[in-house]
A and B are shown apart, each in its own frame.
Chain A
Amino acid sequence: MTEAPRSAGAPPTGPLTDGTHRETDLGELGRMLSETHGAPHVGSGCTSSLSLDEVLLLHAAGLEPAAVVTGAAAATIPPGSWTWSQGQVQAADVAFAQAFGSARDQLRTQAHQLGAIGVVAVDIELQVAPHRYLVVMLGTAVRAATDEHGASHFGVRYPTPFLSDLSARDFVVLSRSGWYPIDLVGSASFVHAPRRGVGTAIGQARQNVELTNFTETLYAARELAMERIQQEIIRVGGTGLLDIHFVDDPVPFAGHVVRFVAYGTAVKLLATSHTHPDLQMVVPLDDPVISFDAAALG
């Protein structure tokens, strides 16, 4: 068993390192469908927001979906927070942190109650309103699959369920390389853009110029958010962040406030070294049809 996330352990074993390929006999599968048709069988059911391909990929990695889990939390932003001022909108930063943390805790609690080792493919919805920040998370809790002898084929033991917005495909590719997701991390920074002087605004009214106040504010917001997310990665025990998502634009109802929201999955190398995947090249034969536009000759 490989421990996560606190200590580096043995490289993953079992099906993750198995590169064999099995040819599929469709006729045999069809006959199987016929033979099993109508046979009642009730097992431990599951629900999953994953595609069928992702479920089967997880299956090959020794995992199976347990259930869809959700977390939603809204936190207050007091009135007056968006009034044009200077510096950070700290109330919005705090509201994001509270809502994101609470939604994340709800996911982890549900996963723990299900006996899952983690949650993959978490979809994150962020909504900012004048009086509150809302975060909704939805993902699929996964557990170690056991065979008919009760043996597990997943080689990593997490002390608490991990959370990840990586797809199941990304999870499998990542784990085959010796890396594993640790936790979802996110940070937000809202910063007031300073007003231009009246003279400057009038002087630039008919010019194509850079609005340096907004550019500098965007940089300031970026620095704050990225610094916080770095601290978050370290706090949860990760050594890196994958597939970061950004929201960097003015707040819809407060155009003078620039927001920079970043979130992604903190990861850590749990194997003794990175394993380079053995790749095979393929040439797909289903390229899109290129249509000829006769009008282009005219």
Chain B
Amino acid sequence: MAATEGRAGAFDSGLTTPDFAACLSMGLQPIGLVQGFFCGQLAGWSSYQAEVVNNYSCAWGWGRGGQDHPPPGWLGVASPLDQAWSTAFSTAHQRMAEEAAGLGAHGVVGVQVEMSHPTNDRSSEVHLWGTAVRLSGATGGHLWTTRIAGHKLAKLVEAGYAPASVLYSRCTAVMYEGCYMEHWGPNMVGAGTLLTPIGDVHNLARTRAMEEARRHAGGHSLYDVELEAHEVEGTTTYVTCQVLGSLVRRVRPTLPLAAPVATVSLGD
């Protein structure tokens, strides 16, 4: 998949002018703009594939799954859907890294990510791009990627960290109400009664996405995180949480950093 030809002359890059200048000062030579793509089809998802993590019975005693009553509510995770997006991301990331390695790069800085449904809800497209850089005087090792570039990268290293890779995780939490409280219960409970399943579905999406990120991190730290949650509410409520960040490795203790100088800007 790597397109590495035609790079013998001028370099291209996605760096801003200040980031370009900072990279040069750090000894990072831009080699070229590298990209990774993945287009896929998302198989239909049904609740039978959900990883159920909790069941709810009706608060007022009926509807516990008998033949004459609606089934009780449940809370789960749409794992196949999340797995499909994670695979799409990791594949596109790997292709970008391969393209950078083909150019002889040591790392990719300023990585940006775009994820979309190109045709309909059952299609997926992931596009990553960044600037491959070569470290003056450095030898082999694993290629690293990061969303950070320029002076921010310098600050990261000054704080004792080295970039490892761009990380993506997500969780789609699903809550089926059955006969639960959202629409039926208020007739029977007073004001201010906590609706546990609704809180649970929001919490589950966020905590699972972060847990997944931590699992990928494997003891390293995740910084520069962009966390986005999206809710589709109905009898079945879906809450999707996506986490995108830069994984960093602590390589030396640096504590404390110098206190920053407080400034007042005289610009407009």
Contact = CB atoms under 8 A, between A and B. Distances in A.
A92 B191 CA distance: 7
Contacts of B222: 45-48
A7 to B, nearest CB: 26
Contact of A36 (B194, B225, B252): B252
Taking each of B148, B158, B190, which has the highest tally of chain A beta carbons within 10 Å of its own beta carbon?
B158
A52 B224 contact: yes
Given A30-B27, A90-B191, A52 B22 contact: no
B135 A91 contact: no
A15 B261 CA distance: 12
B138 A34 contact: yes
Contacts of A176: 259, 262
Contact of B203 (A19, A49, A97, A106): A106
A167 B223 CA distance: 15
Contacts of B255: 59, 62, 145-148, 153
B262 A70 contact: no
Nearest to B233: A129
Contact of B192 (A76, A147, A148, A284): A76
Contact of B183 (A16, A99, A131): A131
Given A47-B225, A52-B155, A75-B193, A20 B259 contact: yes
A19 B260 CA distance: 7
Contacts of A92: 191
A174 B196 CA distance: 36
B263 A282 contact: yes
Interface in A19-61: 19-22, 24, 26-27, 29-34, 36-39, 41-53, 55-57, 59-61
A191 interface: no
A49 B227 contact: yes
A252 interface: no
B192 A153 contact: no
A266 interface: no
A2 interface: no
Contacts of A111: none
A57 B152 CA distance: 13
Contacts of A97: 192
B157 interface: yes
Given A52-B224, A76-B195, A280 B261 contact: yes
Interface stretch (A132-140, A203-211, A218-226, A236-244): A132-140
Given A91-B191, A94-B192, A283-B266, A38 B141 contact: yes
Nearest to B226: A49
A34 B202 contact: no
Interface in A70-116: 70-79, 81, 90-92, 94-95, 97-99, 102-103, 106
A295 interface: no
A255 interface: no
Nearest to A134: B198
Interface residues of B, number: 77
B193 A76 contact: yes
A192 to B, nearest CB: 15
Given A47-B210, A47-B217, A52 B223 contact: yes
B27 A19 contact: no
B121 interface: no
A176 B259 CA distance: 10
A38 B265 contact: no
Contact of A280 (B159, B225, B263): B263
A287 B213 contact: no
Contact of A15 (B156, B229, B259, B264): B259
Given A34-B135, A59-B257, A68-B225, 17 more contacts: A15-B256, A22-B258, A29-B158, A31-B137, A37-B162, A39-B162, A41-B251, A47-B217, A65-B221, A67-B210, A70-B202, A75-B192, A98-B193, A99-B194, A99-B199, A172-B260, A280-B263
10 contacts: A19-B261, A29-B157, A49-B225, A74-B198, A75-B193, A76-B193, A146-B255, A147-B255, A280-B263, A282-B263
Interface of A: 14-22, 24, 26-27, 29-34, 36-39, 41-53, 55-57, 59-62, 65, 67-68, 70-79, 81, 90-92, 94-95, 97-99, 102-103, 106, 131-132, 134, 136, 138, 145-148, 153, 172-173, 176, 277-284, 287
